A and B are shown apart, each in its own frame.
Chain A
């Protein structure tokens, strides 16, 4: 069965520090997708990235970068030079077979202090 583990329950950093959020997944599928979502204090869920299991290239978007390693079943998310506005809960998710379903990790609370 699919499973997503976000072992870091909560992380606190000071503004401008780099921070990496870990995501480890389990699946027997050979083709799958991984996602990251952000949930700011306002409560909505914001889509950040979708990555195909066949594409192991790292991706960078501004201060955000993602490191996908199939060998370790990890899809880690790094924020460079963190800002207070990055404070949020971040969820990693994995596609489950059949019906376009997603399995979510428990989330990591990121607190960025000024």
Chain B
């Protein structure tokens, strides 16, 4: 029972390169989320998805692209990486909305370094 997994766990890239971070969940959760964690900011929402083919921007979406063709996968792409995108990226998922908020369960994170 893998739950929610992210790959790669660590990534070093160079400025201007395209990078895709993968997220996969086995719970059939409707909602999926991408956050970035930076010192002093906690976790900030980048994008989220309520279902396959439904995505929406979060607090800090600039420079990122997402897609969700299958319920279980939610890849995050940095189209042209910048140093300011050096961060730890967390994927999360939650069940279909039956309340103002359902509990989100997080993946192990991806540490991204942009040189």
Contact = CB atoms under 8 A, between A and B. Distances in A.
Interface residues of B, number: 28
Interface in B56-115: 56, 58, 88, 90, 92, 94, 97, 99-106, 108-109
Main secondary structure of the interface of B (DSSP, over half): strand
Nearest to B45: A101
Interface residues of A, number: 27
B26 to A, nearest CB: 16
A91 B97 contact: no
B109 A50 contact: no
14 contacts: A32-B100, A33-B99, A35-B101, A35-B104, A45-B90, A45-B109, A47-B105, A50-B103, A52-B99, A97-B100, A100-B94, A100-B101, A102-B104, A107-B42
